[in-house]
Amino acid sequence: MTFASLGLIDPLLRTLDSLDYVAPTPVQAEAIPAVLAGRDLMAAAQTGTGKTAGFALPLLQRLMMEGPNVASNSVRALVLVPTRELAEQVQQSFLTYGQHLPLRSYAVYGGVSINPQMMKLRKGLDVLVATPGRLLDLYRQNAVKFNQLQTLVLDEADRMLDLGFARELDDLFCALPKKRQTLLFSATFSEAIRGMAKELLRDPLSIEVSPRNAAAKSVKQWLIPVDKKRKAELFLHLYRSQRWSQVLVFVKTRKGVDELEAELQRQGISADAIHGDKPQPTRLRALQRFKNNEVKVLVATDVAARGLDIDDLPLVVNFDLPIVAEDYVHRIGRTGRAGATGQAVSLVCADEVQHLSAIEALIQQVLKRVDEPDFIPDHRVPQTLAGGQVVKKPKKPKKAKVVGGGKGGSLGRWLESDEPAAPPIKAVRKVPSFGGGPAKGGRKP
Ligand code: AMP
């Protein structure tokens, strides 16, 4: 299949050619014709599947071919996203894909001055990418009008709800024209997301390009049991012994992020950090430095877990397991993108076994355990079973079986092998069919 056969116009085809996009990804193959035909969409697409182009390309084309010129303070297409970083990234995609089209796009989000955003909106915009809170501010100050709105895109809808944006979204939906096209993208589908879809979408085309809640198949995943207090030491050991080139590390708390960043810098490793307490320009700079390969380790809370596209990122480390199991899928989705292979390793201590079993139930896979010889934990991590069960009484500690011996032998061997991750298993505990985890409101990483 080619992009031309999907009905895209020449200026877009030229751009795709220059980007070396040879063929549409599965989500693009389904989404592009449907969006061009004006249909609503409900898409369950994993990160890294090319979903941004899946909505941006046909949307740009529709804006080119249909509708009036944009009036002042108006927008014709609105893309709502959960985080500031994602807003910038999606806006960059619109700029790239629309480089041969005379359309205006811009991103607005909180944490930066509102005045330049108001100025920019004065002339009107064909595409506005926005986080919900700032957009509502702008709307309440009459800086943006929605009467010309043709299309609404909700990107990473589940994340917007996780971050506590439900109220802002409701207020915004009330302000939008009823007659419009709506595209909803979400990695996971909780009850709340399904409710939202029912309310907003009209006869939507449902697209599901990957198994529900499945972690990317192209990512090799494993865990290393370790005592909590030795995690930083183990990370440093692995970083050096495995000669990791670039790594994104997820830590549970902001304090934990700062501590690990400081420790890495003390050890002479170039590291930067992203979390919710840092000012927006600092966050963007850290991300850019990481993307430019100027820093080797980026330490982050889950604020960085979704949507960020980092070319050729080989490795994600879960220094702490996420409390919300779905976040695991998003974290490891930072690697193994667009057909590349990636690796995701979790450093797991005994306290985290419940989080581990919830993750394993969600991804329907028991993560492979690889003992690191010098770091066998005093507090053993209880065994987990298929379906998210924990074996209550751990067996008597026994010496780890080290394949190949020597420092890092087992891990190194396994990484070099082509051995697949543990095969999918049948979940015993029932996982909600659309992945509806526990309600999580107002959590800001
Ligand atoms: P996304 O899932 O939208 O974040 O896209 C993930 C990555 O895939 C981005 O770096 C895109 O530039 C890239 N990409 C998207 N579509 C294609 C395609 N058809 N061929 C090659 N790369 C693509």
Mean pLDDT of 206-231: 78
Q: pLDDT digit string (tens) for 219-243?
A: 889 999 999 999 999 999 999 999 9
Same domain, 191 and 238: no
pLDDT at 256: 96
In this structure, are residues 230 and 75 in contact, taking their beta carbons and an 8 Å threshold?
no
Same domain for 66 and 29?
A: yes
Nearest-CA residue for ligand 1 atom 18 is: 21
Residue 378 CB-density burial (10 A; 0-12 exposed, 13-18 middle, 19+ buried):
exposed
* Binding site membership of 306 for ligand 1 (Cβ less than 6 Å): no
Strands 205-208 and 181-186: unpaired
**What is the H or E stretch that residue 346 is in?**
strand 342-348
Q: Is 25 in the pocket of ligand 1 (CB under 6 A)?
A: yes
Distance of CA 344 to the CA centre of its chain: 14
Same domain, 21 and 74: yes
Same domain assignment for residues 195 and 306: no
Residue 217 DSSP SS3: coil
Looking at 363, 390, 417, which one is the last position of a domain?
390
Going by CA atoms, what residue is nearest to atom 12 of ligand 1?
50
- Of 3, 16, 21, best ligand 1 pocket probe by most atoms within 8 Å of the beta carbon: 21
Residue at a domain's end among 186, 208, 230 = 208
Cβ 331 under 6 angstroms from ligand 1: no
CA-closest residue to ligand 1 atom 4: 48
Give the strands of the sheet with 151-154, arranged side by side: 105-108, 125-130, 75-80, 151-154, 181-186, 41-44, 205-208
Are 280 and 112 in contact by the 8 Å Cβ rule? The answer is yes
Q: Are 108 and 117 in contact (CB under 8 A)?
A: yes
| Pairing mode, strands 384-385 and 389-390 | antiparallel
Show which of 342, 372, 390 is a domain's final residue. 390
Rounded distance, CA 146 to CA 148, Å? Answer: 5
Give the integer Cα–Cα distance in Å for 343 and 351.
Answer: 24
Question: Per the domain annotation, does 427 fall within a domain?
Answer: no
Place of tokens 């690697």: 335
Task: Look up the CATH number of the domain holding residue 351.
Answer: 3.40.50.300
Q: Which atom of ligand 1 is nearest to the CA of 307?
A: 4
Instruction: Answer yes or no: is pLDDT of 289 > 70.
Output: yes
In a domain, 442, yes or no: no
Average pLDDT of the residues in 300-310: 69
In a domain, 420, yes or no: no
Residue 314 confidence (pLDDT) above 70: yes
What does the pLDDT read at residue 334? 73
256 and 300 in a single domain? The answer is yes
Strand order in the sheet with 315-318: 271-274, 297-300, 247-250, 315-318, 342-348, 219-225, 368-369
Q: Is the pLDDT of residue 337 over 80?
A: no
User: Rounded mean pLDDT of 300-314?
Assistant: 70
Predicted pLDDT at 187: 81
- Give the integer Cα–Cα distance in Å for 279 and 259: 18
Asked if the structure places residue 404 within a domain, the reply is no
Rounded distance from Cα 236 to ligand 1 centre (Å): 32
Half-sphere exposure of 266 (CA within 13 A, CB side): 9
Answer whether 421's CB lies under 8 Å from 344's CB.
no
Contact between residue 222 and residue 338 where contact means Cβ atoms under 8 Å apart: no
Same domain, 266 and 170: no
Closest Cα to atom 14, ligand 1: which residue?
50
Does the residue 59 lie in any domain? yes
**Residue in 277, 323, 286, 303 with CA at minimum distance from that of residue 445:** 303
What are the tokens at 7? 């009905």
Q: Whose CA is nearest to atom 19 of ligand 1?
A: 24
User: Distance (Å, rounded) from C-alpha 159 to C-alpha 142?
Assistant: 27
pLDDT of residue 197: 92
Cβ-proximal residues to 268 (8 Å cutoff; 6+ apart), any chain: none
pLDDT for the residue numbered 212:
43
Residues 6+ apart with CB under 8 A from 125: 70, 74, 75, 76, 104, 105, 106
Do 233 and 109 have their domain in common?
no
CA distance 259 to 254: 9
Is ligand 1 within 6 A of the CB of residue 21? yes
Residues 223 and 168 in one domain: no
Residue 435 has pLDDT above 70, yes or no: no
Q: 421 pLDDT exceeds 50?
A: no
Q: What is the mean pLDDT of residues 86-107?
A: 96
The H or E element that residue 315 is part of is: strand 315-318
Closest ligand 1 atom to 49 CA:
2
Q: Taking residues 169-187, what's their average pLDDT?
A: 94
337 CA distance to ligand 1 middle (Å): 8
Q: How far apart are the C-alpha atoms of 292 and 283, rounded to whole Å? A: 14
User: Does 411 reside within a domain?
Assistant: no
Nearest CA to ligand 1 atom 5: 50
For ligand 1, say whether the CB of 334 is within 6 Å of any of its atoms: no
Q: What percent of the chain has pLDDT over 90?
A: 58
| pLDDT exceeds cutoff 50 at 151 | yes
Whole-number Å distance, alpha carbon 40 to ligand 1 midpoint, is 22
Beta bridge partners of 342: 219
Q: How many domains does the chain have?
A: 2
DSSP state letter for 230: G
Q: How far is ligand 1, taken at its centre, from the CA of residue 53, in Å?
A: 7
Q: Does the pLDDT value for residue 215 go beyond 60?
A: no
CA-CA distance, 168 to 34, in Å (whole number)? 28
Query: How many angstroms does the Cα of residue 47 sit away from the middle of ligand 1?
Result: 10
90 lines ligand 1 (CB under 6 A): no
Rounded mean pLDDT, 127-135: 97
Q: What is the mean pLDDT of the chain?
A: 84
Contacts of 427 (CB under 8 A, 6+ apart): 361, 364, 386, 387, 388
* pLDDT value of position 355: 94
Model confidence at 412: pLDDT above 50? no
Residues 124/145, Cβ–Cβ less than 8 Å = no
The response to whether residue 24 sits with its C-beta less than 6 Å from ligand 1 reads yes
The residue-averaged pLDDT of 428-441 equals 33
User: 169 and 231 share a domain?
Assistant: no
pLDDT of 371 > 80? The answer is yes
Between 47-51, 96-100, 328-332, 374-378, the lowest mean confidence (pLDDT) is in: 47-51
Buried b (16+ CB within 10 A) or exposed e, 310-334: beebebbbbbbbbebbbbbbbbbbb
Residue 278 CB less than 6 A away from ligand 1: no
Judge if the beta carbon of residue 355 lies within 6 A of ligand 1: no
Q: Binning pLDDT at 50, 70 and 90, where does residue 363 land? A: confident
Range of the domain at 76: 4-208
- Provide the pLDDT confidence category of residue 308 given band limits of 50, 70 and 90: low
Do 139 and 170 belong to one domain?
Answer: yes
Tell me: do 162 and 199 sit in the same domain: yes
How far does residue 338's CA lie from ligand 1's centre (Å)?
Answer: 6
As given in the structure block, the two tokens for residue 314 are: 């080989």
pLDDT at 323: 87
Are 390 and 361 a contacting pair, CB within 8 Å? no
Q: How far is the CA of 343 from the centre of ligand 1 (A)?
A: 19
And the tokens for 44?
């369950």
**17 in the same domain as 110:** yes
Q: How many helices (H) and strands (E) does the chain have?
A: 15, 16
340 CA to centre of ligand 1 in angstroms: 11
Q: What does the alpha-carbon distance between residue 15 and residue 103 come to, in Å, rounded to a whole number?
A: 15
Strand partners of residue 152: 78, 182
What pLDDT sits at residue 384? 87
Q: Is residue 414 part of a domain?
A: no
Percent of the chain with pLDDT over 70: 82
User: What pTM was estimated for this model as a whole?
Assistant: 0.61
Residue 106 included in any domain: yes
